Amino acid sequence: MPTFDPRLGARRSGPAVSTHAEDEGAVIAAHLEARKRHPGLRMILAPRHPDRGAAVARALAAAGLEAQRGDMPGEAEIWLIDRLGETGLIYRLAPLVFLGGSFGPQGGHNPWEAAALGAALLHGPQVPHAAAAHATLDAAGAARMVADGAALGAAVGGLIGTRDLDAMRAAAKRVMADIGQARPQTLRALQALMATRLEPGHIFSKAAP
């Protein structure tokens, strides 16, 4: 598991998680745009498939961005995490995350883990595989849809270090708290229903003919 260097400054970074090739051009463009507003902005980039790490590193280099791969971010502008099992740690550190699989045909990825761990979310428009989850978070103000790399860059640049970002994170916590309450409430309702139907004299308490 990587040890996060405090010099990275989680509040000065714009992580992009579970990205695919269709996302990464937009993510790179967004970072270049956002750092105009936030000099020194850094990014954590975690592709969905770690075996694409070399290809992602080449794309970053082509854009003039230095990337560090491995367990430590070092001094590079981009920390490229091309290994599995690190998204939970990223979500805990990062106040704002772009969730990949949403600018291409992949259909989006599950946003609940990020919301549960305190991150506000940005995502592209193509999320049919997780449409209900994204719609819930969007409606609550915990997530936002961005149309393309330019919109993503504007959102990152406009949210980092603001009360609006704090409000998005608070909204994510409220959504997850509501979901947490809904499960025991549903269980209690089912238990009450089963108890009613098993009362003496009820049709379901009689032996089948």
Q: Is the pLDDT of residue 112 over 70?
A: yes
- For 15-66, what is each residue's pLDDT tens digit? 899 999 999 999 999 999 999 999 889 999 999 999 999 999 999 999 999 9
**197 within a domain of the structure (yes/no):** no
β partners of residue 16: 45, 98
**149 within a domain of the structure (yes/no):** yes
Q: What percent of the chain has pLDDT over 90?
A: 63
User: Residue 85: what are its φ and ψ, rounded to 5°?
Assistant: 85, 15
According to the model, what pLDDT value does residue 8 have?
A: 47
Q: Is the pLDDT of residue 88 over 80?
A: yes
- DSSP assignment of 50-70: GGGHHHHHHHHHHTT--EEES
According to the model, what pLDDT value does residue 84 have?
A: 86
- DSSP assignment of 175-197: HHHHHHHHHHHHHHHHHHHHHHH
**155 within a domain of the structure (yes/no):** yes
Tokens 């309702």 correspond to 189
Q: What is the mean pLDDT of residues 60-88?
A: 89
Give the helix ranges, DSSP H, for the chain.
Answer: 21-37, 53-62, 87-93, 112-116, 131-140, 149-159, 163-197
**10 within a domain of the structure (yes/no):** yes
pTM of the model: 0.81
In 3D space, the residue among 149, 171, 173, 169 whose CA is nearest the CA of residue 159 turns out to be 169
Residue 98 CA to residue 149 CA, distance in Å, equals 11
**29 within a domain of the structure (yes/no):** yes
Q: What is the mean pLDDT of residues 149-171?
A: 94
**119 within a domain of the structure (yes/no):** yes
Residue 82, CA distances (Å) to 17, 202, 204 in order = 11, 60, 56
**78 within a domain of the structure (yes/no):** yes
Residue 96 CA to residue 41 CA, distance in Å, equals 13
According to the model, what pLDDT value does residue 126 have?
A: 97
Q: What is the number of domains present in the chain? A: 1
Tell me the residue range of the domain where 87 lies. Answer: 6-169
- CATH number for the domain that contains residue 71: 3.40.50.2000
**196 within a domain of the structure (yes/no):** no
